[in-house]
Amino acid sequence: MLLGPPGSGKGTQGERLQEDFRLPYYATGDILRAAVKEGTDVGKQAKEFMDRGDLVPDEVIIGVIAERLQGEEASDGFILDGFPRTVPQAEALDTKMTELGRELTAAILIDVTEDEVVHRLGGRRTCEKNPSHIYHVEFDPPKEEGACDIDGGKLIVRDDDKPDVIKNRLAQYREKTEPLIDYYDDRGILNRVNGAQSPDEVEESIHGILATVRREEEEGM
Ligand code: AP5
Ligand code: MG
């Protein structure tokens, strides 16, 4: 499970991890944006919250994730990005996992300063065809300006990457999501990664953490 403030690099790492581990990747922000685009019930309920940079109500998002976790696709494991984001969501995830007879392996906190986050979100570009293809005008530019390296999709600025909305997303993170750091620390599964490193270095750190967790599991610790 990837935890961290807006712009910390959850999506950038999630895209790499799903390739590295061949696991399904559930990014609630991407799922909700797709629902808004398709005009589904969930999308209609979520839109106004997302536009303001507020969190969508817990009951809307919990159902969306629960449905995916019990699917066949997720039976070998999965990567979560952007969920849980509140204590009630974390509790709902615990309940769901217990019901499925499973456990969360690791909560990985990507740690970055707010100044860095603002800089990152200001220059982010996302692929219109596949939102998990993420670029930055300065830190990770595409080969050809305005086009995705992978599928040629048009690169766009996300609706919620406006200064006022970014400010509110950060405030929401501090107020509602940061308590999850203690929540997972108390359960002994919190791992911190220095998110100020390059994307390759962050990826390597996450691999290191997961290798350690696996070794400990095998040794029955
Ligand atoms: P969501 O889409 O999850 O947005 P977020 O948490 O604000 O995070 P971001 O996607 O903005 O950042 P990221 O950490 O993925 O960073 P990225 O890799 O793109 O949620 C959007 C909205 O949906 C929420 O506001 C809420 O309304 C709703 N929502 C979603 N889940 C919800 C839930 N569970 N409950 C309630 N509401 C929910 O990287 C950012 C930029 O930095 C990119 O340009 C990238 O190229 C660059 N970058 C990445 N890594 C590095 C690096 N190491 N060095 C330099 N640049 C880097
Ligand atoms: Mg993201």
3-state secondary structure 101-158: CCCCCCEEEEECCHHHHHHHHHCEEEECCCCCCEEECCCECCCCCCECCCCCCEEECC
> What's the CA gap between 144 and 5, in Å, rounded?
29
pLDDT tens, position by position, 200-218: 999 999 999 999 998 988 8
- Which ligand minimizes its atom distance to the CA of 124? 1
CB 36 within 8 A of CB 24: no
Tokens of 57: 């109500």
The DSSP secondary-structure symbol of 160 reads T
Q: Is pLDDT of 57 > 70? A: yes
Mean of the per-residue pLDDT values of the chain: 95
Choose the catalytic residue: 16, 85, 120, 125: 85
Cα(40) to centroid of ligand 1, in Å? Answer: 22
Lookup result for tokens 């019901």: 99
In a 3-state reduction of DSSP, which class is residue 18?
helix
Tokens of 87: 């204590």
pLDDT score of 220: 78
C-alpha dist (Å) from residue 24 to 31, 68, 157, 163: 13, 10, 25, 32
Classify residue 121 as exposed, middle or buried by CB count within 10 Å of its CB (0-12, 13-18, 19+): buried
Label residue 189 by pLDDT band (50, 70, 90): very high
Closest to 17 (Cα-Cα) out of 203, 217, 212? 203
pLDDT tens, position by position, 95-125: 999 999 999 999 999 999 999 999 999 999 9
Residues in the ligand 1 pocket, defined by CB under 6 Å: 4, 6-12, 28-29, 32, 49-50, 53-56, 61, 82-83, 85, 89, 120, 123-124, 134-136, 139-140, 160, 169, 198-199, 202
Please confirm, yes or no, whether 154 is among the known catalytic residues.
no
